[in-house]
Structure 1
Amino acid sequence: MSDTIRVVVVDDHPVFRMGIAGLFHSLDGLDLVGQADGPAQAREVVDADVDVVLMDLDLAGESGVLLTRELVAAYPDLKILVVTMHEDDVSVLAAMRAGARGYLLKSAAPEQLERAVRSVALGDLIMGQGVAERALSYVASAPTGSGRGPRPFPELTDRELEVLDLVARGMGNAAIARALTLSEKTVRNHVSNLLTKLEVRDRAGAVAAARDAGLGTGS
């Protein structure tokens, strides 16, 4: 990496992109080399010379999590810094699973964003205030199949158990798909399978069974 950090911003809000452009224009050593409003444009402007991508999670109905995974797979040295309005623990975990190296809220101060960009460019892992605690809380409360007690619902696969936990948290299929970086069709299939295995008629029955077993109680 050269002394200048080459950055691309991927966000479907033009006002936010303009704000980033104005900020970077005033900073030494940071060069905004491209902007994109979604995955299609991102694929055109991101290449091996880009050091950091600022990534929103909602891109006009498309998934920033899936795009993060795609770009990291294509460019292993690329660093993704998520900058989003979503502060829920599931979104944080999904982004980090996809390969993001940092996670900030859009409410972060300009100097925080600058520090985060420089840090992730160097390979550091950066999370905004409170975000790390939420991610750790989610990991601690997610079903793992280990621990002192027996694994709940042994008839379910690990993925089905994970989906059930998110269903019990009140999440819809689209949110679960984003959290687990799956397609909505795959999530629907998992939900259908777990309903059959649990011998419940509907989603409400699955939620009741899951909560009776201690699932869906995380923050």
Structure 2
Amino acid sequence: MKIAIFDEHEDSIAAIETLLKSEGSFDVVGRFYNTNACVQKVLTCDADVVLIDIASSGRMGIAAIKELRSKLPYLKIVVQTALEDGECVFKCIKAGAVGYVLKKNAKQWLISTIKDLQHDGAPMAPIIAKKLFNFIYRKCDERRSVKINRDYQLTLREKTILNYLVRGLSYKMIGHELGISYETIRSHMKKVYRKLEVSSLTEVVAKAIKQEIV
């Protein structure tokens, strides 16, 4: 996989590149110190995956994610940052990021995160998933004055998987709990996406909580 790195700190890029080089299937094709003209930079190096740190660029970083996602929909965008705030995670995923890794946990999670992207995963460490879901819970509590009742015709198995997702479990963890394969989980979730009329894991969880589907 061809990877481009956006980070304002040269030492951070060097550390990330060293880590990625330990995995033979990764090739760092771009090293950039700001997000100006990010789409053109990615096109120039023909990257499959972009690692972007939004800690110092803030809104500009999120704007860069939106621009990349809108103009290069095939691109896999992973946020790698020191920010652990649930709202920040939510905004990044809403903008189009498909993964979120804390810099302090990069050695533990970065390589597996990028590998998960090859299987259409939306990887994030459990601590980040928990912060994200807690933020969604809080936002939904603010809006729960009006309860929406709608039958999405989910099967018992689909509701069970959805319930596990709301609790913060990954596909692999759910497969272990239910004794079924990762691919079977993905197959069920494709049906859930279609029935709930959503296109991302974040939307699935948010809708399940907001409309009290599980």
Tell whether 2:82 aligns with 1:85.
yes
Give the TM-score, by structure 2 length.
0.62
Cα contact 1:8–1:46 (8 A) shared by 2: yes
Whether 1:53 aligns to 2:50 is yes
Q: Secondary structure at the match of 2:38?
A: helix
Q: Report the equivalent of 1:113.
A: 110
| 1:67-88 Cα shifts (integer Å, max 9, x gaps) | 0010011110101111000001
Task: Give the equivalent residue in structure 2 for 1:20.
Answer: 16
**Cα distance in 2 for residues equivalent to 1:149 and 1:60:** 37
Tell whether 2:132 aligns with 1:135: yes
Q: Distance in 1 between the 2:106 and 2:36 partners?
A: 29
Superposition deviation, residue 25 in structure 1 = 2.3
- The superposition leaves residues 55-99 of structure 1 with CA deviations (integer Å, 9 ceiling, x where unpaired) of 111345662111001001111010111100000111000001001
* Cα distance per residue 1:98-130 (max 9 Å; x no partner): 010001100114242101011124321011131
Letter of the structure 2 residue corresponding to residue 56 of structure 1: D
Report 1:168-179 matches (<5 A). Answer: none
Determine which of 25, 29, 34 is the counterpart of 1:29: 25
Q: Tell me, what secondary structure is at the counterpart of 1:91?
A: helix
Q: Distance in 1 between matches of 2:142 and 2:125?
A: 30
Q: Runs of 5+ in structure 2 lacking a partner?
A: 148-214
**Taking every aligned residue pair, what percent have the same amino acid on both sides?**
27
Contiguous gaps of at least 5 residues in structure 1: 151-219
DSSP 3-state at the match of 1:108: helix
- Structure with a larger share of its residues in helix: 2
How many residues are paired up? 146
1:114-152 deviations in whole A, cap 9, x for unaligned?
0101112432101113111111111111157743469xx
Question: Closer, same or farther in 2 for the Cα pair 1:37/1:107, shift >3 Å?
Answer: same
